[in-house]
Amino acid sequence: MKPLTDSIEAFIKSLLEEGQAQVDVQRNELAQYFRCAPSQITYVLSTRFTPDHGYVIESRRGGGGYIRIVRLRESRGSNLLYLINKRIGDSISQRDSEAIISQLFTSDVVTENEARLMRAAVSGEAINLPVAFKDALRASVLRQMLLEIASRAEEDDS
Amino acid sequence: MKPLTDSIEAFIKSLLEEGQAQVDVQRNELAQYFRCAPSQITYVLSTRFTPDHGYVIESRRGGGGYIRIVRLRESRGSNLLYLINKRIGDSISQRDSEAIISQLFTSDVVTENEARLMRAAVSGEAINLPVAFKDALRASVLRQMLLEIASRAEEDDS
DNA sequence: TACTATTGAATATCAAAGATGGTCAAACCG
DNA sequence: CGGTTTGACCATCTTTGATATTCAATAGTA
């Protein structure tokens, strides 16, 4: 049985198709549609529509309230530099890496196969170390891969 | 009396017939079906569905969780499984990794960009550890990437 | 008119409960 | 002894509900 979260995520993403950079939804309405608790919607948004995933959320309470999901448009080079220099510190979790890699794929910076390779390289099985070192090494592996991608920039900057 | 392991193994393999490269199962459900402890399923998977046997396992916990068994393809023109199981031991030098990666590129198993990514991931800068651990970790990172390649869908089998 | 209090309509938060799979060591069995 | 089986305990992800917070509209008041 597929979890509700996946359906909700897919539904929201389908709303964002058609080139729309953002959508407004009503939390209660959405919850009613999926027959779940309203906080379920909040949960989906906070686990799958984070900035790392390439989205930001804004919302307003009270009468006529709404939740706005905005998809960030990729400005390739600059964002890569940000990821390399700021976002990846000297330590990063597998979860966060996952989000970053997925976003690179979504915004067409890497192919699906490349994304898979990157995920494999930073997976828990690949980096088989005591927890204390794990995230640190993952950061350094991920950074080297991003640097490699950044160095491609010259050619295929469509 | 035939051990349960054998039946479970056979059952899973039968699921993989019909050309399917992968199946999803639920651990509890399977365990219930065979009237055994759930960890029995884990045991079977970890003893009979390893990369040595030509399989990889992925899984997800929580509601709607599953275990996915992926059958690795017999290499396309280049002995991926051999590389994974024999050539990469529990330790490999950067030089040897380089040779393997180049070979994969030369034999059209991976693209140039993919090869570059892999080199970045196993480079000395990425795996910044004392020499004693360096080669060991490189082996595991490289292996995971090769496993990923070996589980790719059969599309571009030119 | 202005200003404030009240109310109803949303969303946010957080912790608990539920639903899976993972690990590991001990018991079991041939 | 080596492979199998089990069970207790752990980790992770999902779902729900109670409670808090915020906002808009309206009612009340001088």
Per-residue pLDDT reduced to its tens digit, B117-132 = 999 999 999 999 999 9
A149–B141 C-beta distance less than 8 A: no
This prediction has a pTM of 0.93
Q: Which residue has the tokens 């309405």?
A: A29
Whether A2 contacts chain B with CB within 8 A = yes
**Which DSSP letter does residue B125 get?**
T
Q: Which residues touch strand C (CB under 7 A)?
A: A 1, 25-29, 38-39, 42, 57, 59-67; B 1, 25-29, 38-39, 41-42, 46, 57, 59-67
Share the mean pLDDT of chain A.
Answer: 93
Q: Which residues of A touch B117 (CB under 8 A)?
A: 114, 117-118, 121, 145, 148-149
What pLDDT score was predicted for residue A1?
85
What is chain A written as a DSSP string? ---HHHHHHHHHHHHT-TT-SEEEE-HHHHHHHHTS-HHHHHHHHHHHSSGGGTEEEEEE-STT-EEEEEEPPP-HHHHHHHIIIIIS-S---HHHHHHHHHHHHHTTSS-HHHHHHHHHHHSTTTS-S-HHHHHHHHHHHHHHHHHHHHTTTTTT--
**Which DSSP letter does residue B108 get?**
T
A2–B120 C-beta distance less than 8 A: no
Total residues belonging to chain B = 158
Rounded mean pLDDT, A131-152: 95
Starting from the edge strand earliest in sequence, which strands make up the sheet with B66-71, in order? B22-25, B66-71, B55-60
Q: Min CA distance, B145 vs chain A (Å)?
A: 5
How many Cα neighbours within 13 Å face the side chain of B12?
Answer: 28
Rounded mean pLDDT, A146-158: 77
How far in angstroms lies nucleotide D9's C1' from the CA of residue A96?
28
CA A43 to mean position of chain CA atoms: 15
CA distance B29 to B62: 14
For B63, the closest chain A residue by CA position comes to: A3
Do A124 and A73 contact (CB within 8 A), yes or no? no
Rounded mean pLDDT, B95-111: 96
What pLDDT score was predicted for residue B19?
81
Quickly state the pLDDT bin for A153 (edges 50, 70, 90). low
Question: Measured on CA atoms in the order A60, A39, A36, A95, is the torsion positive or negative?
Answer: positive
Number of Cβ pairs closer than 8 Å across A and B? 81
What is B25-90 written as a DSSP string? E-HHHHHHHHTS-HHHHHHHHHHHSSGGGTEEEEEE-STT-EEEEEEPPPPSSS-HHHIIIIIS-S
| Integer angstrom CA distances of residue B150 from A155, B9, B56, B62, B158 | 29, 21, 9, 28, 15
Quickly state the pLDDT bin for B77 (edges 50, 70, 90). low
CA distance A49 to A77: 22
pLDDT at residue A157 is higher than 70:
no
Q: Which nucleotides of D are covered by protein (CB under 7 A)?
A: 3-8, 11-18, 21-25
Burial class (CB in 10 A: 0-12, 13-18, 19+), B153: exposed
CA distance A95 to A73: 22
What pLDDT score was predicted for residue B32?
97
Residue type, B91: S
What pLDDT score was predicted for residue A85?
84
Rounded mean pLDDT, B37-48: 98
Q: Which of A126, A154, A124, A103 is nearest to B118 (CA)?
A: A126
pLDDT at residue A83 is higher than 90:
no
A117–B125 C-beta distance less than 8 A: no
CA distance A117 to A55: 24
pLDDT at residue A126 is higher than 70:
yes
Share the mean pLDDT of chain B.
Answer: 93
CA distance B75 to B66: 27
